[in-house]
Every structure is written in structure tokens, then in C-alpha cells.
Amino acid sequence: MNKFILNFEVRDYECDLQGIVNNAVYQNYYEHARHQYLKSAGLDFATLHQQGIDPVVYRIEIDFRKPLKSGDSFHVETSVVREGNLKFIFNQEIKIQENLVNKAKVAVVFTSRGKPIPAPPFVLEALEL
């Protein structure tokens, strides 16, 4: 699957006393974009969970470039690559138009009963990996 783009707008309550988006809020933006990316590929978190499969973030790195402020319109770009037998890397960027705000590298593994498992074939097919 190619790059997935999801639009957002900063809400007042996401900002801290400095008038900028609190650093923890960026993880919410990235998580929502990943969920929507998977959903657009035909993979639903609730359905996966009912099947005993849970994608779990085990590492996230965010490089901050400049802050977002209340009312800013921005988008999150998401793509995924497979790394090895168990790991998937979601590469994500937050941009205002084409200007980079920050970027994240999110490592995810699929689990069953709390233990890492290779992604099922239908997941690989949906993600075109």
C-alpha cells in the first residue's frame, strides 16, 4: 500500500501553557493515523482482536522540528515497511502543506495471547508486503 494521508486540525485543548501542542498529543495523532491506515487497507483493530491478534507498539521515536498551534491544519503521512519476520516499521510525518513539523518511526509487532507472532498472511496481503 502506498503512502496514506489523513487531515487534522489542532484543537485548543491539545495545547499547553506555551500555546503549542503538548508533545504527548503527537502520539495520539500518529496512532489515529495508523489505525485509519490499517482500516483503509481492510484491517480493523476490533476484528483483529476478536481473532486473537493484536498489533502492539513496542518502540516509538519522534523527531520534533517545529510546533503546531491551535487552529493549525495539518496532515499525517503514513507508510509501512516490513523489517524481519516480526517487526513492522510505520514511518510517519506531520506536515503543514509540505512543511515538515515532525516525524516518527514506530515499531510494531503482532501478538497473540501477549506473545509476538509473525503477521498472518492476510495482514501481509492487505498491507501489500
pLDDT tens-digit series, residues 86-129:
999 999 999 999 999 999 999 999 999 999 999 999 999 999 98
Angular region, 86: left φ>0, alpha ψ -120 to 50, beta rest: alpha
- What is the dihedral sign for C-alpha 68, 44, 122, 106? positive
Question: Model confidence over 35-80: pLDDT tens digits?
Answer: 999 999 999 989 999 999 999 999 999 999 999 999 999 999 999 9
Counting residues of the chain whose pLDDT is more than 90, the rounded percentage is: 95
pLDDT, residue 1, reads 64
pLDDT of residue 2: 78
CATH fold, domain 4-126, is Thiol Ester Dehydrase; Chain A (3.10.129)
